[in-house]
């Protein structure tokens, strides 16, 4: 079965198509990205303006046309925080439904956190032990911690790279004062969550998901995407410490020419790098692995888990009361202890 997942975010709408087979990794068959640029279209009343709504509709329509070309059987379309938290959210979703014939769903921040964690846990496997995932989006940052398939702790904080850029930077490049104020705000926002995580003790593996971590890792020397998903990619706090002031001193145009930094995200990579660095510092983490799987893969994996339910194929029976072995003859093999209720 061919499945499609369309994630409509603040920077772009990203379609991922996979050949979905239960028990096999959902590696992409086709991917498409269409720019949305919603951050610049949110006004003071937190409404998305007409231009932003039109871009969302065009991006969804383009993605659906691509899904038809690739003969997708089922598709899940959802919006993240930029539209979910917009004051005119229902108007936006109604317009998309009217023009595209499909009304997107929206996930809460905690749902996003749990689905992303589910994908990361599946990628690294049970041997990862206790796993901490950090995901910096355009509007929010999700943090999840756990050992099993579902996280023990999941939080969503208003620390998205796009949101903070709009709130704190009005110059290009930002002033030293603006950078300092943003650092202070991020530290204060993280304090309660960081205290809880430090109390839990150090996780066995720390993972970074989202485009912010991928671009920062590439900037600091991680292998490019063309090397495939099975190549290990990492990002260190030490590298971030050196790059944050360098990025902050550059214009957006200059940043867009750096290795790994997309032009569409160059304006917000400073805020993203500050959130990443301050989070690693607050949690005393030296390095993160950058996961190839994140939210979209989590949606696909959850669907596959549901359709591959084996309960009807492998029925279980309740254990009957223990049979009474009165008078029974039990043969005990050499070297094997006799049962406790043996009649011997």
**Token pair for residue 171?**
């110059």
Least Cα distance to 16 among 227, 214, 298, 297 occurs for: 297
Sheet holding 153-157, edge to edge: 153-157, 141-146, 131-136, 205-209, 287-290, 234-236
Angle between helices 109-124 and 295-307 (to 10 degrees): 80
What pLDDT, in 10s, does the model give residues 263-302?
989 999 999 999 999 999 999 999 999 999 999 999 998 8
Per-residue pLDDT of the chain (344 residues; tens, 9 = 90+): 899 999 999 989 999 999 877 666 777 789 999 999 998 898 889 999 999 999 999 999 999 999 999 999 999 999 999 999 999 999 999 999 999 999 999 889 999 999 999 999 999 999 999 999 999 999 999 999 999 989 999 999 999 999 999 999 999 999 999 999 999 999 999 999 999 999 999 999 999 999 999 999 999 999 999 999 999 999 999 999 999 999 999 999 999 999 999 998 999 999 999 999 999 999 999 999 999 999 999 999 888 877 655 455 556 566 667 666 555 554 444 554 444 444 44
Give the torsion sign (CA, 115, 117, 118, 124): positive
Neighbours of 18 (CB within 10 A): 23
What pLDDT, in 10s, does the model give residues 159-184?
999 999 999 999 999 999 999 999 99
**Token pair for residue 169?**
């930077």
**Token pair for residue 91?**
């108007």
pLDDT of residue 303: 84
pLDDT of residue 1: 83
CA distance 5 to 21: 15
CA 67 remoteness from chain centre: 22
**Token pair for residue 122?**
């599946």
What pLDDT, in 10s, does the model give residues 60-71?
999 999 999 999
Rg (Cα) of the chain, in Å, rounded?
24
């Amino acid at each position: 079965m061919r499945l499609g997942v369309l994630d409509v975010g603040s920077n772009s709408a990203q379609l991922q198509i996979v050949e979905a087979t239960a028990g096999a990794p959902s590696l992409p068959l086709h991917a498409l990205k269409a720019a949305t640029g919603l951050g610049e279209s949110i006004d003071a009343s937190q409404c998305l303006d007409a231009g932003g709504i039109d871009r969302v509709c065009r991006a969804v329509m383009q993605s659906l046309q691509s899904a038809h070309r690739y003969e997708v059987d089922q598709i899940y379309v959802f919006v993240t925080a930029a539209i979910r938290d917009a004051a005119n959210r229902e108007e936006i979703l109604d317009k998309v439904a009217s023009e595209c014939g499909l009304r997107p769903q929206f996930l809460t921040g905690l749902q996003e956190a749990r689905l992303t964690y589910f994908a990361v846990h599946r990628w690294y496997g049970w041997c990862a032990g206790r796993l901490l995932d950090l995901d910096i989006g355009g509007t929010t940052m999700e943090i999840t911690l756990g050992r099993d398939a579902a996280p023990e702790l999941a939080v969503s904080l208003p620390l998205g790279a796009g949101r903070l850029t709009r709130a704190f930077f009005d110059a290009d490049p930002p002033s030293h004062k603006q950078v300092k104020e943003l650092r202070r705000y991020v530290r204060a926002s993280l304090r309660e969550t960081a205290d809880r995580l430090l109390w839990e003790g150090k996780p066995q593996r720390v993972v970074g998901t989202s485009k912010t971590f991928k671009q920062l890792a590439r900037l600091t020397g991680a292998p490019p995407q063309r090397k495939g998903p099975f190549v290990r990619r990492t990002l260190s706090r030490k590298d971030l410490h050196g790059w944050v002031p360098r990025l902050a001193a550059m214009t957006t145009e200059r940043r867009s020419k750096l290795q790994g930094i997309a032009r569409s995200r160059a304006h917000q990579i400073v805020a993203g790098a500050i959130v990443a660095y301050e989070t690693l510092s607050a949690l005393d983490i030296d390095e993160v692995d950058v996961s190839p799987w994140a939210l979209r893969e989590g949606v696909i994996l959850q669907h596959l888990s549901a359709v591959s339910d084996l309960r009807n194929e492998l029925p279980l029976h309740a254990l009957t009361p223990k049979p009474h072995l009165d008078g029974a003859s039990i043969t005990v093999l050499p070297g094997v202890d006799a049962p406790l209720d043996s009649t011997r």
